[in-house]
Amino acid sequence: MEFPFLEKEDPELFAAIAGEEKRQAEGLELIPSENYVSRAVKEAMASSLTNKYSEGYPGKRYYGGQEFTDQVETLAILRAKKLFGAAYANVQPLGGANANIAMYMALLSPGDTVLGMDLSHGGHLTHGHPVTYLTKIFNFVRYGMKNIETGEIDYDDMRRAAKEARPKIILAGFSAYPRELDYGAFVDIAREVGAISVMDIAHIAGLIAGKAAKNPFDFGFDLMTTTTHKTLRGPRGGMILTRESEEIAKRVDKAVFPGLQGGPHMHQIAAKAVAFGEALHPSFVRYAKQIVANTKAMERVFKEEGVRMIAGGSDNHLILLDAWTSFGIGGAEAESLLDRAGITLNKNMIANDTRKPIDPSGIRFGTPALTTRGFREAESAQIAHLMCEVLAKKKDATTAKEEVKTLALAHPIPESFA
Ligand code: DSN
């Protein structure tokens, strides 16, 4: 992307951005929560909408001059509802954590209980990890996997915990779990104990939108929270979707504004609208299905190589690999070795990890960004082989980097995404 004014007016800052543009173009991006957004999304983000204050919602604002911002936000809401089959959408949350916090504020009183997935089993910090301030306000009870080798969730234990703790929210969703959840079981348990069922779809929103994963709303979930910038391939931001309850949707709107946020970032909301429009296009179904096909191609290689994957493999866009058991190196060293080879991913705790978060046993990676670049099964398998060679120290990082560069150059970021 060209930045003619920035280059002239602030060369120091321009150099940093140019460096990052080059890094993204020449390396292979395997962090499963990252992607390349389209030029159209970037143009909306860079628009004059960033100049505008628009506290409130379409038709009910606290400042004048909202003729066009109302059009922008209404478009984003309409497209979000269509994409996920929701009756209501709030597109103002600034990110996924903000969306989850607003969801808690909307549905809970201080001291209420949430039943959510353990972080080390794939959950998220905002699902109740003790390092967050959320745990000073609400009570979090956790569930996890029954079988780490298959990824099966312990639904019996979840039911028992729900009956004992009587949570107000049963929260599904994850940031490092590679299997489909049994949504029917979540909804059944929530209804048995009178809880509201919420699914945090941040990681798989694009797979749901592209029909490569099931839609929790089809199973009766009450609410979904999400980011818009991962598999959904939109700008950095969040969103809250309500399946049918107007009363819940009104509580969500009040929690987002004025409860937690001030003026919405209308340039980001415009970019969300653009991304939702792209995700409604039939080509997005092909994209989402290719993400999963590419993960499966990597999974096959790791299985052949006898590498231990948490949950035994993947049904979605990400793989969690046990580097410690498979290669005798910690996650930090694995991340660093691959980084030097031009393959970017992140170290990650695994269930029942014996190591520390700063140097855990696992690495987490996935295929959304590679798929945007046009990688298919053969190249995905080639990357998995290369990763095994580097992690087993059969190939040094410098040699691997040449191979990575050749792969990256053969699959440049498409012009409409560069
Ligand atoms: N940081 C996000 C991820 O990488 O999954 C979740 O917050």
> How many angstroms does the Cα of residue 24 sit away from the middle of ligand 1?
18
Determine the CATH number of domain 43-279.
Answer: 3.40.640.10
* pLDDT at site 8: 97
User: For position 288, what pLDDT does the model report?
Assistant: 98
pTM of the model: 0.97
Residue 241 DSSP SS3: strand
Packing angle, helices 377-391 and 397-410, rounded to 10: 170
Token pair recorded at residue 341: 């080879």
Torsion of CA 287, 288, 293, 297, to 10 degrees: 90
Question: What does residue 368 show for φ and ψ, rounded to 5 degrees?
Answer: -60, -45
The full set of domain ranges for the chain reads 43-279, 283-409
What pLDDT does 220 receive? Answer: 98
Distance of CA 317 to the CA centre of its chain: 10
Counting atoms of ligand 1 from 1, which one is nearest the CA of 346?
4
Active-site residue, 244 included = no
Contact 279, 206 (CB under 8 A): yes
Active site residue 371: no
Tokens found for residue 219 = 């199973």
pLDDT reported for residue 56: 98
* b/e per residue 64-83 (b: at least 16 CB within 10 A): eebeebbebbebbbebbbeb
- How do the pLDDT tens digits run along the chain, 418 residues long? 889 999 999 999 999 999 999 999 999 999 999 999 999 999 999 999 999 999 999 999 999 999 999 999 999 999 999 999 999 999 999 999 999 999 999 999 999 999 999 988 999 999 999 999 999 999 999 999 999 999 999 999 999 999 999 999 999 999 999 999 999 999 999 999 999 999 999 999 999 999 999 999 999 999 999 999 999 999 999 999 999 999 999 999 999 999 999 999 999 999 999 999 999 999 999 999 999 999 999 999 999 999 999 999 999 999 999 999 999 999 999 999 999 999 999 999 999 999 999 999 999 999 999 999 999 999 999 999 999 999 999 999 999 999 999 999 999 999 999 8
Question: Is 136 known to be catalytic?
Answer: no
Active site residue 354: no
252 C-alpha vs ligand 1 centroid, how far in Å?
A: 23
Report the atom number in ligand 1 closest to the C-alpha of 126. 7
Give the SS3 label for residue 306. coil
Measured CA to CA, the distance from residue 195 to residue 136 in angstroms comes to 21
Dihedral (C-alpha) 384, 236, 41, 43: value to the nearest 10 degrees? -120
What pLDDT does residue 120 have?
87
Phi, psi of 227 (to 5 degrees): -95, 170
C-beta atoms surrounding 358 within 10 Å: 9
- Protein residue with least CA distance to atom 5, ligand 1: 175
| Owner of token pair 């049963």 | 170
Q: 177 CA distance to ligand 1 centroid (A)? A: 12
Whole-angstrom distance, CA of residue 346 vs CA of residue 331? 8
Instruction: Indicate the SS3 state at residue 304.
Output: helix
Is residue 340 part of the annotated active site? The answer reads no
The answer to whether the CB of 370 falls within 8 A of the CB of 413 is: no
Known active-site residue 364: no
As a whole number of Å, the CA-based R_g of the chain is 21
Which of 175, 226, 346, 347 has the most ligand 1 atoms within 8 A of CB, as the residue to mutate? 175
- Active-site choice (7, 34, 55, 339): 55
- Of 33, 201, 226, 363, the residue with max ligand 1 atoms within 8 A of its CB, to mutate for a pocket test, comes to 33
* pLDDT given at position 100: 98
In DSSP terms, 90 is beta-bridged to 240
Answer for the pair 110, 137: CB distance below 8 angstroms, yes or no. Answer: yes
> Residues with beta carbon inside 6 Å of ligand 1?
33, 96, 124, 175
Which protein residue's CA is at the shortest distance from atom 4 of ligand 1?
Answer: 33
CATH classification code of 283-409? 3.90.1150.10
Ligand 1 atom closest to 34 (CA): 4
Helix, strand, coil shares of the chain, percent, nearest 5, are 50, 15, 35
Ligand 1 centre to CA of 71 (Å) is 31
Both tokens of 80, joined, read: 């979000």
Find the catalytic residue in 39, 42, 82, 236. 236
For residue 95 the two structure tokens come to 């990110």
Can you give the pLDDT at residue 258? 98
Mapping DSSP to helix (H, G, I), strand (E, B) and coil, where does residue 197 land?
strand
Identify the active-site residue in 69, 126, 225, 227.
Answer: 227
Nearest CA to ligand 1 atom 2: 33
The answer to whether 96 and 235 are in contact (CB under 8 A) is no
- Atom 1, ligand 1: residue with shortest CA distance: 33
